[in-house]
Amino acid sequence: MYESAVRLSPQATKTSGEMDKPLISRRLVDSDGSLAEAPSEAPKVGILGSGDFARSLATRLVGSGFGVVVGSRNPKRMAGLFPSAAQVTFQEEAVGSPEVIFVAMFREHYSSLCSLSSQLAGKILVDVSNPTEQEHLQHRESNAEYLASLFPTCSVVKAFNVISAWTLQSGPRDGNRQVPICSDQPEAKRTVSEMVHAMGFTPVDMGSLVSAREVEAMPLRLLPGWKVPALLTLGLLVFFYAYNFVRDVLHPYLQEGKNKFYKLPVSVVNTTLPCVAYVLLSLVYLPGVLAAALQLRRGTKYRRFPDWLDHWLQHRKQIGLLSFFCAALHALYSFCLPLRRSHRYDLVNLAVKQVLANKSHLWVEEEVWRMEIYVSLGVLALGTLSLLAVTSLPSIANSLNWREFSFVQSTLGFVALVLSTLHTLTYGWTRAFEESRYKFYLPPTFTLTLLVPCVVILARGLFLLPCVSRRLSKIRRGWEKDGAIKFTLPMDHTLAQKTSHV
Ligand SMILES: Cc1cc2nc3c(=O)[nH]c(=O)nc-3n(C[C@H](O)[C@H](O)[C@H](O)COP(=O)(O)OP(=O)(O)OC[C@H]3O[C@@H](n4cnc5c(N)ncnc54)[C@H](O)[C@@H]3O)c2cc1C
Ligand SMILES: NC(=O)C1=CN([C@@H]2O[C@H](COP(=O)(O)OP(=O)(O)OC[C@H]3O[C@@H](n4cnc5c(N)ncnc54)[C@H](OP(=O)(O)O)[C@@H]3O)[C@@H](O)[C@H]2O)C=CC1
Ligand code: HEM
Ligand SMILES: [Cu+2]
Ligand SMILES: [Fe+3]
């Protein structure tokens, strides 16, 4: 991704022939004394505002090879918060050199920039703002159109509003991170699209600036990341609880007249929680497998995944954390099983039965081993999952580089899935094959949960086969099935985006 930053260098933009002026005018780099010390090769980008978004943007731009100059009303106070490679200065000094200037301020302060309008003339202004729900309803005209009306001599581009400051700083990790872009000036739009690309995001052409209203509505419209995973978890909880209720409580009551309703608070819950945790965990690793399979079939990584898969890939963190939550509760419930009075009565009754049957030593070697092993595997699985949960805390995630983070999330997470599967299999043992375990023809609960995890594990095994893994890694390095690597001109790229993103 980062190599596309090269396209932004003055020489490269010139060769495209369609731009009559280079993105970075070298004249400005040395005309102003204060700018001379900045690396003269890096394309310069300006940012107005020094808030959260400005800081993340500056970090990301510096990391993607751009020179950054930040314009603030109070540069002295703010400079310490920015990466040292970014230059923080007064607004009027900051806007002199760059051709592209991000306006990282709220709408109500746009008019305070009017004093800069002569210096801003002819430049590209990027509007990143997000209105609140009320503001969106209140103003007919989008923030970007408002900015364009204040600065008629500038090219205004709407972009980045859908990306949070946090994502911007940490970089896009999973799925596609799309940045919708619109503008009335195609040149300006293309320049910003290439910057989006160089920063590791995927630009999506949304047409002219009238679309800005729609683009500004996007973050308002999107579901908060937790809603779908939480509903999924709730659905699974209800399903498994009902299933276990029928098997463990209703069946003995109807068939044998036994009252087992005491199982509702602990026992049935502790059969439900682990099943939900286990299914959720497999649903975290299933989309990665589907994505890889899709890339293998298409023979390219340059086509967008279907929306449902994209959405799923982006919700894995929440699904994973909910899985961890259920698994942790399952462990706590498991520790409580022997504390219950019902358990003590069961033990005493068993002892009495033994005495009456004149047996002195109850010890089933197979049962002992089975339990020792499945409890140990469960503890290991939960321990591994807690590592994943800990590294998903932003402060810890930020202290890891992406390879370390991927190792924990992708490799150790998969190990946790395998350990959970072994835990479930050793717990289940031969029960899936015993007729007495089928209540109302319903198989034991754990058998229902094994399907998806086993498919995921088999598929990951398949991807490890040399021929498959070689092809997959070739595709992920940019190789395409039909012919050599395609070089798309910026123009082709925006066209391709347009057709594939409808
Ligand atoms: C408790 C818990 C906490 C979680 N916290 C987070 C979190 O904080 N953030 C988060 O994003 N997810 C989180 N998750 C979700 C999950 O761990 C991650 O999404 C994980 O990266 C998924 O791994 P994956 O291997 O399925 O997918 P991916 O890492 O997307 O990879 C899919 C497949 O492609 C391969 N692959 C990927 N990229 C390349 C490449 N460039 N070259 C070659 N092969 C490649 C992988 O090896 C894998 O086989 C969490 C999950 C749990 C259980
Ligand atoms: N935070 C986020 O995750 C996202 C933010 N955005 C958008 O980015 C823009 C900035 O957001 P954010 O960085 O969070 O907000 P902040 O409040 O943190 O920053 C706003 C900045 O505006 C500058 N500013 C310039 N003129 C004025 C003025 N007259 N009064 C007050 N402030 C002024 C200030 O910088 P200084 O004092 O140096 O001049 C201030 O730091 C907003 O439009 C927001 O919708 C978009 C997507 C995500
Ligand atoms: C400290 C960690 C763990 C301990 C002590 C533990 C213990 C147990 C126990 C005692 C049972 C039997 C429950 C019963 O008798 O009803 C069980 C079943 C099960 N556990 Fe765990 N477990 C742990 C972690 C996990 C994890 C991390 C997962 C998966 C994410 C998991 C998934 C399951 C499943 C699917 C079952 C079968 C449930 C059923 O169908 O009855 N366990 N575990
Ligand atoms: Cu691309
Ligand atoms: Fe969502």
Phi, psi of 62 (to 5 degrees): -60, -45
Give me 477's structure tokens.
């390095």
| Ligand 2, atom nearest to 72 Cα | 38
Length of the chain: 502
Give me 155's structure tokens.
């090219």
Q: Distances in Å between the alpha carbon of 284 and those of 222, 253, 417? A: 21, 37, 10
Q: Distances in Å between the alpha carbon of 245 and those of 325, 335, 342, 395, 445? A: 22, 21, 18, 42, 11
Residue 385: closest CA among 324, 317, 456:
324
CB 102 within 8 A of CB 48: yes
Is 109 a pocket residue for ligand 2 (Cβ < 6 Å)?
yes
pLDDT for the residue numbered 496: 44
The reply to whether ipTM tops 0.85 is: no
Give all strands of the β-sheet with 67-72 in edge-to-edge order: 87-90, 67-72, 44-48, 100-103, 124-127, 155-158, 178-183, 202-205
Residues contacting 261, CB < 8 A, separation 6+: 249, 253
How far apart CA 148 and CA 136 sit, in angstroms, is 17
The residues that bridge with 67 in the sheet, in sequence order, are: 44
Give residue 264's Cα distance to chain centre.
Answer: 36
How far apart CA 181 and CA 196 sit, in angstroms, is 9
pLDDT for the residue numbered 178: 85
CB 71 within 8 A of CB 45: no
- Strands (DSSP E) contained in 154-281 are 155-158, 178-183, 202-205
pLDDT for the residue numbered 238: 98
How far apart CA 92 and CA 48 sit, in angstroms, is 10
What is the SS3 assignment for 246?
helix
The pairs formed by 467-474 with CB atoms below 8 angstroms and a separation of 24 or more are 468/296, 471/296, 472/292, 472/295, 472/296
Q: Identify the helix (H) or strand (E) that includes residue 125.
A: strand 124-127
How far apart CA 253 and CA 412 sit, in angstroms, is 43
The residues that bridge with 46 in the sheet, in sequence order, are: 69, 101
pLDDT for the residue numbered 222: 54
Angle, CA 383 vertex, CA 378 and CA 387 arms, to 5°: 145
Pairing of strands 67-72, 87-90: parallel
Is 104 a pocket residue for ligand 2 (Cβ < 6 Å)?
yes
How far apart CA 443 and CA 433 sit, in angstroms, is 9
Q: Nearest bound ligand to CA 283?
A: 1
- Classify residue 46 by its DSSP letter: E
Give me 342's structure tokens.
């019902």
CB 272 within 8 A of CB 233: no
pLDDT for the residue numbered 486: 55
Is 165 a pocket residue for ligand 2 (Cβ < 6 Å)?
yes
Tell me the CA–centroid distance for residue 173 and ligand 1, in Å.
9
What is the SS3 assignment for 38?
coil
Is 292 a pocket residue for ligand 1 (Cβ < 6 Å)?
yes
Q: Nearest bound ligand to CA 301?
A: 4
CB 388 within 8 A of CB 320: yes
pLDDT for the residue numbered 106: 93
Residue 203: closest CA among 217, 225, 186, 220:
186
Which residue positions in the chain have pLDDT lower than 70? 1-42, 171-176, 221-224, 483-502
What is the SS3 assignment for 441?
coil
Mutate to test the pocket of ligand 3, among 334, 335, 414, 446 (most ligand atoms within 8 A of CB): 334
Tell me the CA–centroid distance for residue 378 and ligand 3, in Å.
6
